[in-house]
Amino acid sequence: MRITDIKTFLVDATPPGGWGGGGRNWLFVKVETDEGIHGLGEASGWPRVIQTAIEDLKTILVGQDPTRIELLWQKMLLGMMGHGMTGVVGAGAMTGVETALWDILGKKLGVPVVDLLGGMCRERVRVYAHAGEPERALRYVEEGYTALKCGGLHTPVKTVRRLRNALPDDVDLCIDVHGPPWFTVPDAIRVGQELEEYDLLFFEDPVPPENIDALAKVSESLSIPVAAGERSSTIYGCRELIEREIVDVLQPDMGRVGGIYQMKKIAAQAEAHHIMMAPHDGSNGPICEAAAVHVMASIPNFLILEHRANDVPWRYEVVTELPVTDGHIEVPRRPGLGIELDEDVARAHPGGTNVAAVTPQNLERMYVEPRARRRRLLER
């Protein structure tokens, strides 16, 4: 079997109401072979730029055996030497292609990807939805979700308190403050201490990701689980978070982690340090989600998977649906990833620019007087 072509589909997946002040794209990847078997992948991070990177990588992949996945990953890595080998663009490009190679291998052998990764530790994967207001949170609980995440960037304590008071005790809560530049280490520690009484599943990205020592200071000062890692790629990018045991929950993004095997390797590293896995999947499309489901079903240290419950209305028209039942996704048992892409639907939603808008209001929040900012952060 040989690779004959690699195609990409840039899809405008901006949900109703926008996405972080800007747009959002999905980048789907299709690897074709001379035996008529094709594989599907998805890349995230900076999809329009990654699309070009994949076109460049295609020159060293066409004609190769798609079942030699590790070898081709190393070829792609070396092929990007001098271009930021494990940065978001490079890792995203490798992820899209590598995921498709696993899909091909599973289809060729007639088995689901999870079986190639050691088999299932679980037959379904727990997911959480997003809700910042009690009304939406209660709707998701009625639909069967057992865990929710809120994004209390400016009033985190108040947001969590309102949700906790409105929801049943057995519903898990977590919060993502997105590591904004105005969240200092003292701010993050104070907020985390205020949140301890609510017994959160995790406190995500309490400070910007550029300074690991700052994150370590926050983690050491809190008794609630700290989560981070969505902007880290490959075993090399996640190594320090794991080896120094800075986080309790690791969150690599399935669209830019480097691929299925990289996610599996990272999970094994984390397992040795008793760190749980909860992959970031919030901006990704359904192919990334399918890949994450297969990997997370195969590892012992899985905690929960992010799921975009309120997305574009045609999400499951473009790719086969993996339904959420009682807050879980069942692991597909069809060969490969167990999904298919409708290329006509993908082409009907061509991608555009997707850089988040930087508004004067956002910039002003970075320079608020520190005491006033902290009062708002700690508001109940």
- So which residues are the catalytic ones? 178, 280
3-state secondary structure of 50: helix
| DSSP character string of 136-194 | HHHHHHHTT--EEEE--SSSHHHHHHHHHHHS-TTSEEEEE----TT--HHHHHHHHHH
Contacts of 65 (CB under 8 A, 6+ apart): 1, 2, 3
Contacts of 112 (CB under 8 A, 6+ apart): 106, 294, 331, 332, 333, 334, 335, 336, 337, 338
φ and ψ at 341, to 5 degrees? -105, 135
CA–CA gap between residue 31 and residue 154 (Å, rounded): 43
Percentage helix, strand, coil, to 5, in the chain? 40, 20, 40
CA 286 distance to own-chain centroid: 11
Neighbours of 40 (CB within 10 A): 27
Neighbours of 196 (CB within 10 A): 12
Cα angle, residue 215 at apex, residues 213 and 217 outer, rounded to 5°:
70
